Amino acid sequence: MALFSNNISRLFENNPVNQVGPTGQPLIGGSIITDLGARSLGGLLGRDMRSPEEKILAAQQGIDTTTPQGAIEAAKARLQFETDINARAQISNQIIQMQRQIADDVQRDKIEQERLANIAKGEQRVHSIADALADLGDIGASNYVLDGTYSPSQGSNYLVTLKRAATVAADDLEGQKDLVNSLGYADSSRFKRLFEKDPKALNGKLFEIYVRKEEAERLKKGNVDKATVLIDTLDVSDEKKELAKKMLENDLLTTNGVGKFLTRGQTTTNFDLDGFINKDGLIVPTAIIDGKLSSWDGKQWIEGGSNNPLRPKQATGDKPIQRNSRTETSLKNVLEALKEESENDWRPGISTGVHGDFEELKGLNKLTFQSTAMDLAEARSKANRTTVQDEMRGAVEDMGKLIDNPIGRDATFSRPANLNDFVDSAPVAPASSDNGKTTTITQEMLDNSKALRERGVKVGQTITIKSS
C-alpha cells in the first residue's frame, strides 16, 4: 500500500502544471519560458493574459487602505476582477457597510462641530453681556452672568432694564413712572414718591440705583423660588433640604449648585453655619464630611487642613454661643430700618451709607458681617447689662464702617481679629424698666403714631413704653 502511494505521489513531482511564477501564479505551459511566451503572444493579440489576482493587485496599487475611503476603493478594485460569486457578494456588503459608516461619521462630525460652535457662540454671548454689565459698574451682576447664577437670557434682560433706566432723563417724573409701571415696581416703597398726591421725580442716579436693586431682588427671588421647588423634589432628608434652603437664602449656595450639594453621596453631620473662621478671616459654614471637618466655599466642601486651616470662632474654654432667635430678628429689623433710611436720605455724590454697603456683600462676606454684628451686639448686651435689641443698631453701624466697598470690585468684610476691642463702647441706656415694657418700633407703628414721629423715633429702635 505504501509502495502504491509513493508511486502515485511521484506522478505529481516536477509536473509542469504545478509550477508557479514569481508572482505565485501558475505558469502558463508549466515553465517560465512558456509562460512569458504565452503572455507576450496574448499581448500582441490584444488579450490580457494576467490572472484575476494579478489584475486585483495591479488595480489596488497606490491605494491607501488605512483610510476609510481608501478601504472602499480597494474593495471596489477587488470586486471588479473577482470571479467567485460568494466572494463578490461579501465584498459588495462590505462596501455598503463602509459607506454607511463614513456617512454616519460625517453626520456625527457635523453635529459635534455645530455643538462646539454653539458653545463658543454661547460663551461669547455670556462674556459680551458680562462685559457690558461691568462697563455699567455692576460688577456683581457681571460675575453672576459669568458663574451661571444668571442665565444669559436673564443677564441680557437685566442689562436691557438698566439701559432703559439710564435713558430716562433726570427728574423726568412721567418717564420714571412709565418705566416703573412697565417693570411692575409701582408697589415698591422705593418708588412711592412717584405716586403720592404730590409726586416728585427721583434724582436720575438714584432712580437708576433703585431700578438695579429692584431688578436684582426680582431675579434672586425667581432663582431662589425655582431652586426651592427643585430642593423639595429631591430624595434627601428634610433636615438637609432645610439646610440647603437656608444657605440659598444667604447667598452661600448658588441655584446651579443645589443638585450637587444635595446629591453628593457624602455623610454630612454637625453642620454649623457660623462657628468657624477660615484663613481669610471669613465665617464659613462647616460640617463633618465623611468623618472630617470641612468648609463650604459656595461650590464644594473642602477638607480642613494645612491648605484650608479652620479655627473656631470662640476661644478654647468659652461657653458655646446659643444664638437666640430674637437676636436674628433684631438684626433683620435693624437692617430693614437702615435700608429705608439710606434710601430716603440718599443724596447725589454721597455714599449710600452703612446699609448701602452691606447690600453689596455677598456669600461668605455677608455671612461674616451678619454673624459678627450679632456677636458684638450680644457681647455688648452682656457687658452693658442691656438687651441685644438695644445694642444691635450700634453693632451694625460699627461693623459697617469696616466694610471695604471699592469701585469696580465686590464688597468685602473680614471679622476683626479681636472682637472684644469693640465691646468697650459707651453703654446704651437700658430700654427695659420696671415702669413699662420694651418694644421694637415698626414702620406701621410710626405711621399710626404722630407722637413717635415727633420724638424722632426710627424703625428698628427699641424703646420703653410706660404703662399707664
Res 386 pLDDT > 80: yes
pLDDT of residue 432: 40
pLDDT band at 179 (very low <50, low <70, confident <90, very high): very high
Share of the chain above pLDDT 90, in %: 2
Beta bridge partners of 268: 289
Give the C-alpha distances (Å, rounded to integers) separating 262 from 147, 167, 273.
19, 44, 16
Instruction: Tell me the whole-structure pTM to 2 decimals.
Output: 0.55
Res 374 pLDDT > 80: yes
Closest CA to 74 of 55, 84, 59: 59
Closest CA to 397 of 413, 373, 427: 373
Predicted confidence (pLDDT) per residue in 24-83, tens digit: 555 544 455 555 555 555 555 556 656 677 777 777 777 887 888 888 888 888 888 787
Predicted confidence (pLDDT) per residue in 323-332, tens digit: 677 888 888 8
Q: Which of 118-122, 352-356, 397-401 has the lowest mean pLDDT?
A: 352-356
Q: Residue 183, class by beta-carbon neighbours within 10 Å (0-12 exposed, 13-18 middle, 19+ buried)?
A: middle
Beta bridge partners of 286: 272, 295
